[in-house]
Amino acid sequence: MTRELTPLPVDETLADLLDALRARGNAVLQAPPGAGKTTRVPPAVVASAVVGSGQVLVLEPRRIAARAAARRIADEQGWTLGREVGWQIRFERNFTRDTRILFVTEGILVQRLQRDPFLEGIGAVLFDEIHERSLFADLSLALVRRVQLEARPELRLLAMSATLDGERLAAFLDAPIVTSAGRLFPVALEYLGPTPADTPLATLVARGVRKGLETTPGDLLVFLPGVPEIRRAEEALATLARERDLAVEKLYGDLPSAEQDRVLRPGPRRKVVLATNVAETSITVDGVTGVIDSGWVKESSADPSTGLESLTLTRISRASAEQRAGRAGRQAPGWCLRLWSEHDQRGLKERGRPEIRRADLAWTVLQLAAWGERDLGQFPWFEPPEA
């Protein structure tokens, strides 16, 4: 039985969105961080009968997001997790043949298309956080669009984005754009003041956490570029954690699923979550009202001369900074400390570079060859790779 839901900004847009899907088959939803698109749109699509008896497949860029979104929908709708709504990620699944909403990671969809090229039984594919532009997401988007054009005109496609240029995506899908209001609560932004350039990041984080404890009443979420930086920050916070009885938690992609799920739930003590960008989109860490953002991310990129890939420490984009700050305003008025200056903020790129423009494409070429594609340049990409 459906429970009484807390109103979210996207709720006011659902009728227009469903009308667009009925009339045009496809739609682009532009919804800022905190609008509620991940958890409110899939149940609305199912309830509207836009897809008939077909399953709604929702693509998430990360495993933690797929599991967390399915769990939150089950809780909000009063459903049984694994029955009406479920997930499938690498090495893990929780769904039945009767599941109506299935959250999957992008690689799972690519694998499914290999064995089921017409997506039998699927009524709609929803691309969540499409602005992240992973290679899997770009490949999935192109493949599913081709399935729709060549074999499944009744298949509905919905691309949901917080920051991507909606006009270009709408042209690719021949779809209208539906726009939602943003987060429920305001987030106060602060920037780092004058600081010696050689100050260790862990030291800046510890200072930021101490300030956050005095500024905002809830838990704190700290964005760091990788696991080594998380461990150093954890060490720098050890004394403060003992003094203030804090639970310092870690959250990153390779953490076991049970540990990730535990971190997302409220606990008995005030919490400081040290996270990579896995916490940037699609999930809500309950209780967080403060964000401390290092401003860095580690991205995989290929060296054109050798073909070898490596992780590179990179400044985040303004779009990512907005996403991260938005984590503080999900459940209450929030606060965000950016560990860079306002001058540096003006120098950030508007958006990050898509993975298709920086990754080794050898695996992608092999995948496309399995579908009979021999010319990577002729494949109908949303945005083609560089020559």
| Other beta carbons less than 10 A from residue 61's beta carbon | 24
Alpha-carbon torsion (70, 10, 100, 106), positive or negative: negative
Alpha-carbon distance values, 260 to 29, 50, 91, 249, 359 (Å): 28, 34, 16, 10, 27
b/e map 271-281, b = 16+ CB within 10 Å: bbbbbbbbbbb
Can you spell out the DSSP letters for 302-369?
E-TTT--EEEEEEEPPHHHHHHHHHGGGSSS-EEEEESS-HHHHHTS-SSPPPGGGTS--HHHHHHHH
Report DSSP state, residue 209.
H
Q: Which residues pair with 59 in a beta bridge?
A: 104, 127
pTM check: above 0.85 = yes
CB of 235 closer than 8 Å to CB of 202: yes
To the question of domain 187-346 being in CATH 1.20.120.1810, the answer is no
Q: Do domains 9-182+361-378 and 187-346 have the same CATH topology?
A: yes
pLDDT means over runs of 10, the chain (387 residues): 77 96 96 89 95 95 92 95 95 94 93 91 95 88 93 96 82 94 86 90 98 97 98 98 97 91 91 95 88 94 70 92 92 95 94 83 80 77 78
Domain extent listing, the chain: 9-182+361-378, 187-346
CATH hierarchy code of domain 9-182+361-378? 3.40.50.300
Question: What token pair was written down for 107?
Answer: 């690689």
Residue 92's SS3 state is strand
What pLDDT is recorded for position 104?
97
What pLDDT is recorded for position 352?
84
